[in-house]
Amino acid sequence: QPQAIIFDLDGVLTDTSEYHYQAWKHLADDEGIPLTHEENDEHLRGVGRRESLMYIIRGHQYSEDQIQEMMERKNRYYHAFIEHMTPKEVVTGGVALLEEIKSAGIKVAIASASKNSHLVLDRLQLTSYFDGIADGNCVVNGKPAPDIFVYAAGLVNVFTPNCIGVEDADAGIQAIKAAGMKAVAIGPASRFHGPDKVLPNMENKHLKDLLVE
Ligand code: BG6
Ligand code: MG
């Protein structure tokens, strides 16, 4: 049995990954740059704000000031979505799963690249479920670097091999594996490289579904 289960937030516990895409799409439209849903899945899912923008504006010339302004603009567009979130936007069965894990004596933590994690968790009324929350302000090197998962394991005082990480992005799966944890992938198997387990979605999942041999 694991001693901690460390969840990514966006796209795992709630479908904010669609809001991130819509906000980037709005920005890309402003700038006259094409951006498709497929590109989002392949290049932006789970990737940090700056790295995402760098992908979108690749081949274009922008100053650092313009880059900063675009990151702020995207975040305003994103906020317009998340400000209206309610606890109904937690994945079906998400609260029951967190309660089941906690009553089994297993720690739960968040490892998210997002600087908006606390806001989203508050809107979803999930904050109190977590023993540790590692967000986009905690580490310099984003996923696929292991840092954010290692940091989250530290917050709950668990050795990394005793943790399971849960992710909807391949960058996150690589981060979990590099951290020495077992990796559970959420989404189509074709999206991932080398997870220990793949589940199509998080809906109505139980602790046993997350366990890896
Ligand atoms: C990740 C999302 O959780 O956080 C990405 O999957 C997002 O889509 C990244 O770019 C950074 O989020 P934010 O809220 O700090 O811009
Ligand atoms: Mg994610």
Pairing of β 163-167 and β 182-186: parallel
Q: Which tens digit of pLDDT belongs to each residue from 6-34?
A: 999 999 999 999 999 999 999 999 999 99
pLDDT in tens, 108-139: 999 999 999 999 999 999 999 999 999 999 99
**Ligand closest to the CA atom of residue 175:** 2
Report how far ligand 2's centroid is from the alpha carbon of 10 (Å): 4
* Whole-number pLDDT of residue 14: 97
pTM: 0.96
Q: For the complex shown, is ipTM > 0.90?
A: yes
Ligand 1 surroundings by CB, under 6 angstroms: 9-11, 17, 20, 44-49, 52, 75, 112-116, 136
CA 98 to centroid of ligand 2, rounded, Å: 17
Nearest residue (CA) to ligand 1, atom 6? 46
| Ligand found nearest the CA of 55 | 1
Residues with a catalytic annotation lie at: 8, 10
Asked whether the bond before 200 is cis by omega within 30 degrees of 0, the reply is no
pLDDT at 213: 80
% of the chain with per-residue pLDDT over 70: 100
pLDDT above 90 (res 105):
yes
**162 C-alpha to center of ligand 1: Å?**
26
Select from 19, 39, 79, 114 the residue to mutate for testing ligand 1; criterion: most ligand atoms less than 8 Å from CB.
114
Could you identify the atom of ligand 1 that is nearest to the CA of residue 78? 14
